[in-house]
Every structure is written in structure tokens, then in C-alpha cells.
Amino acid sequence: MTIRSALFKFIAQRMPRMRGFTKRFYFGHPFLDAWFAWFPLNQIQYDGAAVGEIYNAASRIDESKSAASWITEWSAEGARVKNTAETLLSGNHAFSAANAFLRAYTYFRTAHLATDPANYDSEMRETYNNLSYCYQRFRELSGLPIEEVHVPLKKDGQATNQEMHGYFLKAKNADPPNPTRTIIWLCGAETIAEDVYWWCGAEGMARGYNVFVVDNPGDTATRIYNEDMLNEGAGDDTLRSQLDYLFGRPDVDTDNIFVYGISMGGYRAGRLGQIDNRVKAIVANAPMLNASKVLNDVRDVYKAPKDAQGWGRRMCWQYGVDYRKNLKDAMQELVDEVWGQFVVEPEKIQVPFLVMAGENELGGEGIRQAHEFYDRLGSPIKEKRIVTEEECGEAHCQLNNFPLARQIMFDWIEDIERREVA
């Protein structure tokens, strides 16, 4: 470590943590440390990463160069493990190759987090292509029933020529001719469809649920593979299109469709409950009454260091705001005009609803809205679960405790099913 890097790390350690974390995991830089916890530490689950490989890459990262070093080193680790996977496959070790491809996916995915169209456009696309390739190879070689899907995007109920890319993970031991209970995972603005495997996909399949996910307009991957697909208004067409697709599948029990939304998907989960009553129950982690107010502070990202500004420009690009113009103006447009349309009226929701949130959920406004959302819910069956620091789940969407988040969500859904039977 250079003197410059050591000095930077010393100073950075005194910066406030990101995304509601109360503890430091490895890096002094709060952006890098939050990414490190989200990816790849969480992906150790289900053999998605290895401790030695994680720290092999992390130890090479120069925090004073942050994003540039982060992208370089995680990409290098991904490439190394991907090459290992290819060698294993050529030697007819398909099972081992599948696991190696899954780990390579994680490292390319981790590199991808720091990219943006203004500063690292080629790296943004290259890391996405690599992570997508590795995930597809894992899916093909693992033998797991993970189906790639392309869901028609409708507007005002009418078909368009656009499709949302995603996956349908089939329940373990499901009898194909028989409809099976299904969970829709609504991902956040910074998550991609492939991430479902760790958030609820692998466990959902094991528990006997189909799990379904697509990249929504406005999500981090959508504009990479379809630049013309942009979020419109509150996103209602996107949500109804997903339900219409599931209602057309014979392997979906349409009387038992559940929703689990995280981060921006927490907003979408509440919005779906407001506009469509075809689902059995909803879990929002965490719900929002007004996304622009929860995320109001990000309008000041133009004052932040280059890496944070890059994140802001990527958010603008994803949602169709011109990221090349003055960043202050671009962020104001994103927060006020785009996210300002993301509003939910909980009084109109009638299906069973679980409000989940970390006690440090996106600052004071995030947790305040979670409490108010619960109070205003029209659902006759509702529950609120605030996860605490003592439980090691205080961060945004329990980014520091995926197993606990899944346990709370799945157990609540199972309780709803048992209540229905009784």
C-alpha cells in the first residue's frame, strides 16, 4: 500500500457509512465498503463467491483511485475465475465449471457496480456482457430449472414491440402440468434480474415456490440491452405486464401469486398493490409513499467526489435524463420529475401486506415513510417488521443480512398461506 493510499484510507475511515450500515466491513471508503458488503460478501451464499478470491481482489484495490481500481481488480478476478471455468468445462467437469462460472459472475457483477456511462462506458458494457455470459453458463451447466424469459411490455393494455428480459426459476420437485405458487421479485434500480438467485431465488425454489423476475425500465441493466426502453410515469404498465405474463403460464397458480419488492422495488410493490388486486399478498422492503422525498438528498450528488457523481449520472442515464448536461440540473430533473411520479396511496391497497425495513432505512425519511405507509394501509391483514442493529439487519433492505431478510419474508408468506387454509 502506498503512503497516499494509506492516508486516504485513514481519512476515509472517518467518513459516515453508506446505506444504513453502522459498521465497517473492510474498506475505509464508504462507497466501496457498502458495495463490498452487498457484493461479494453476500454472494458467498450458494457458492457465489469464495473468501480467498474475495480478499485476493480486495487487497489489490487502491482506495485513493476508488472506482478505477475497483473495476480493474474485480474484473481481473472475474476473468481469472472465468478462465478456470472454461478449462474445467473443456475437461468435462461440468458441475465444477458451473460453480466457477457463478463465482466469476459475482466478481464481474461487483466490478460493474462502479461503472457509469460518463466515465466508464466501455467498462460498463464489458462487465455486463461478462457477467451475463457467466450467469448463462452457470444456468445451462448447473441443471437447475432456471428459464430465461422475455416478457412483452404492454402500454395501456396493448402489446408493443418491446420485451423485458428476466428469469423464471421453477419450484423444486414441481410437477410441470400442475400450477405452482409463485413469487414476483421486484428488484431495485441498482439490481439486475440475475441477482434474484441470492435475494430469494435459490431459497424460493427449495421452499417450493416459482420465482419470477424481469429487468424493469429504469433498472441498471435495461438500457444496456435496450436503449429505447424507458420508464414511463409511475411504471404501472411495467407492473401489469408482468402479471399478465404470469396469468398466461400454465405452471403458475394464479390464486397464489406473491410479491417481494426491495429498494425501488419496495415502491413498485406498493404501487402494484394499489393498481392491481390479482396478487395474494405483498412484502415491501421498504415501501415508499413518495420516492422523490425518500431520495431527496441525492439531488446534491453534484457536490460529491467524482465516483459519486458517476453514480448520479448513471441513475440519470437509466431513467432517460440527459446525464451529459449540468449534473445539478440533471439530478433535479431525476428527483423531481421522474421519481416525483413514484407515489403510492396505501389506503387503496386491500391485499395482505408486510412492511419491512431496516431501522436505518435510507435515512430519517425512509424509515418515517415506512411507518406512515403501514399506518395508512387499507389492507385488513397487515404487519410491520423493522429489523434492528441488534439483529444485524439495520441497513437498507438488510444488505448486511440476506438470510434474515429471506427468513422474515418467506415465513410471513407461509403464515398467510396457513391462515387462508385455516
Higher pLDDT, 204 or 6: 204
Q: What is the mean pLDDT of the chain?
A: 93
Question: Residues 31-50: pLDDT tens digits?
Answer: 899 999 999 999 999 999 99
- 390, 355 in Cβ contact below 8 A? no
Using a 10 angstrom Cβ sphere, with 0-12 exposed, 13-18 middle and 19 or more buried, the burial of residue 154 is middle
Q: How many CB atoms lie within 10 A of CB 52?
A: 8
Cell of 345: 396511496
Compute the distance between CA of residue 169 and CA of residue 301 in angstroms, rounded to an integer: 37
Q: Residue ranges per domain, the chain?
A: 3-140, 146-290+342-421
Compute the distance between CA of residue 1 and CA of residue 159 in angstroms, rounded to an integer: 56
Question: Residues 261-274: pLDDT tens digits?
Answer: 999 999 999 999 99
Q: Which of 25, 77, 69, 34 is nearest to 53 (CA)?
A: 77
pLDDT at 15 over 90: no
pLDDT at site 203 = 98
Report CA-CA distances (Å) from 81 to 143, 226, 317.
Answer: 20, 28, 31
pLDDT at 279 over 90: yes
Compute the distance between CA of residue 391 and CA of residue 388 in angstroms, rounded to an integer: 5
CATH class assigned to 3-140: mainly alpha
CATH class assigned to 146-290+342-421: alpha beta
pLDDT at 161 over 60: yes
Compute the distance between CA of residue 213 and CA of residue 231 in angstroms, rounded to an integer: 17
pLDDT at site 342 = 98
pLDDT at 176 over 80: no
pLDDT at site 18 = 59
* Helix%, strand%, coil% for the chain, nearest 5: 55, 15, 30
Compute the distance between CA of residue 194 and CA of residue 45 in angstroms, rounded to an integer: 15
Mark out the alpha helices in 208-263 (DSSP H runs): 222-225, 236-247
pLDDT at site 358 = 96
Compute the distance between CA of residue 347 and CA of residue 251 in angstroms, rounded to an integer: 32
Q: How many CB atoms lie within 10 A of CB 150?
A: 12
Res. 5 pLDDT band, cuts 50 70 90: low
Compute the distance between CA of residue 361 and CA of residue 124 in angstroms, rounded to an integer: 28
DSSP state of 255: E
Alpha-carbon 67 to chain mean position: 20
How many residues are given for the chain?
A: 422
pLDDT at 421 over 90: no
Q: Which of 192, 222, 218, 44 is nearest to 131 (CA)?
A: 192
For 387-407, b/e burial (b = at least 16 CB within 10 A) is bebeeebbbbbbbbbbeebbe
